[in-house]
Amino acid sequence: MRALIVEKGEDGGTRAAVREIAESRLPESEVRVAVEYSTVNYKDGLCIGPGGGLVRSYPHIPGIDFAGTVEHSSDPRYEAGDKVVLTGWRVGEAHWGGYAEKASVRADWLVPLPPGLTTRAAMAVGTAGLTAMLAVMALEDHGLKPGHGPVLVTGAAGGVGSVATAILAGLGHEVAAVTGRPEQAEYLRDLGATQIVPREDLSEVTRKPLESESWAGCVDAVAGAMLGRVLKQMKYGTSVAAVGLAGGAMIEGAMVTPFILRGVNLLGIDSVMQPYANRLRAWQRIVRDLPMEKLEAMVVPATLADLPRLGAEILKGKVRGRIVVDVRA
């Protein structure tokens, strides 16, 4: 089978290349899947490159999500011919992942392909889209409704941000999209953003305990100084769903004042270890609430051979929307 293999050299550096390897090298597990599509996420960029502390051992096959067809299953929940999706569970990090024509995984890590989606569409959604929907659901669970005011999306041109923008706009929210790439403004407006916020407007660290109340909710993929600033601008009783840390793990300039004087909530969104029932709920909402024509507009097609380049580009913030990798091409 063909796979993207990442190997570590004697100098400690890593090299990634597409190679032919024997299927017998796959780990023993309950379900073997013929992989059709995967995607490129920030974690994939780390695992293709330096590892970022995520990869346990080499050689390694990255790919934190995939969709395909079951070839064999020792678990009664799945049988040959079933279409399945995998996201999370440290697949592609601690376990061999989806950048290969075959994958061997635990049944608990899979969900059935949602009715109404193809395997390609499922990976156009992928981990990023699932995370975006989990964030929207969390904001709704804490009171967000259309008409409450603009909802901010940081890192809006990235994978999570693109899907979050399309979902929120489709649900009737006014979406303010934050980007440091002015050339992406038209793309974001096509996804439904009604306001483009330049990244520099929110990147400065300030000592003010609070700022003017501006946002009815926020999906934040950046963290760092931007999250510290956004928290001070949230309306009373609203919430920020934190999904990423592209701007750093620290919340620079943050104070406790937004939490105790405005009742602001900071909601942590994890898609890796989500319980099965909530995964299904999120996928059902995706089928219902993510405009498929908007999803298709985000897609950039790729093959296994493109992955070393794309892994480096996503770490530099140069990737827009959703990359869908046809592992068979």
Percent of the chain residues past pLDDT 90, beyond the cut:
91
- Give a yes or no: residue 282 inside a domain: no
Cβ 314 vs Cβ 44: under 8 Å: yes
Using 50, 70 and 90 to split pLDDT, how confident is the model at 25?
very high
Is the Cβ–Cβ distance between 67 and 104 less than 8 Å?
Answer: no
The residue type of 169 is A
**pLDDT, average across residues 90-111:** 98
pLDDT at 246: 83
CATH code of 56's domain = 3.90.180.10
**Residue 173 covered by a domain:** yes
Of the candidates 284, 241, 271, the one whose C-alpha atom is nearest the C-alpha of residue 140 is: 241
Half-sphere exposure for 252 (CA within 13 Å, toward CB): 13
- Are 147 and 242 in a shared domain? yes
Same-domain check for residues 149 and 254? yes
pLDDT band at 317 (very low <50, low <70, confident <90, very high): confident
Indicate if the pLDDT at residue 35 is higher than 90: yes
Q: Which of 268, 283, 312 is the last residue of a domain?
A: 268
pLDDT tens profile 184-206: 999 999 999 999 999 999 988 88
Structural domain includes residue 138: yes
Asked if residue 52 has pLDDT above 80, the reply is no
pLDDT value at 147 more than 80: yes
> CA-to-CA distance for 91 and 203, rounded, in angstroms?
33
Confidence of residue 12 (pLDDT cuts 50, 70, 90): confident
**Is 284 a domain residue?**
no
pLDDT at 9 over 90: no
Bigger pLDDT: 219 vs 56: 219
For residue 118, tell me if it sits in a domain: no
To 5 degrees, how large is the angle CA 177–CA 183–CA 187? 55
Structure confidence at residue 236 as a pLDDT band (50, 70, 90): very high
Residue 251 has pLDDT above 80, yes or no: yes
pLDDT of residue 46: 94
- Predicted confidence (pLDDT) per residue in 113-136, tens digit: 999 999 999 999 999 999 999 999
State the chain's maximal CA–CA distance in angstroms: 60
Beta strands 175-179 and 151-153 are parallel
Same domain, 83 and 149: no
**Phi/psi of residue 95, each to 5°?**
-125, 150
Q: How many residues does the chain have?
A: 329
In this model, does residue 302 exceed pLDDT 80?
Answer: yes
Asked if residue 277 belongs to a domain, the reply is no
* pLDDT confidence of residue 28: 94
> CA–CA separation, 159 vs 246, rounded Å?
12
The pLDDT value recorded for residue 272 is 96
Q: pLDDT tens, 75-96?
A: 999 999 999 999 999 999 999 9
Nearest residue to 274 via CA among 162, 139, 111: 111
Q: What is the tally of structural domains in the chain?
A: 2
* Distance from C-alpha of 101 to C-alpha of 2, rounded to nearest angstrom: 6
Provide the 10 A C-beta neighbour count for residue 215: 21
Residues 6+ away with beta carbon under 8 Å from 166:
191, 192, 290, 291, 294, 295, 298
Query: Tokens 């096959």, residue?
Result: 61
pLDDT computed for residue 106 by the predictor:
98
Q: Which domain holds residue 132?
A: 127-268
In a domain, 122, yes or no: no
**Do residues 139 and 268 make contact, with C-beta atoms less than 8 angstroms apart?**
no
* Mean pLDDT for the chain overall: 95
Closest alpha carbon to 218 in 155, 282, 127, 147: 155
Residues 105 and 163 grouped into a single domain? no
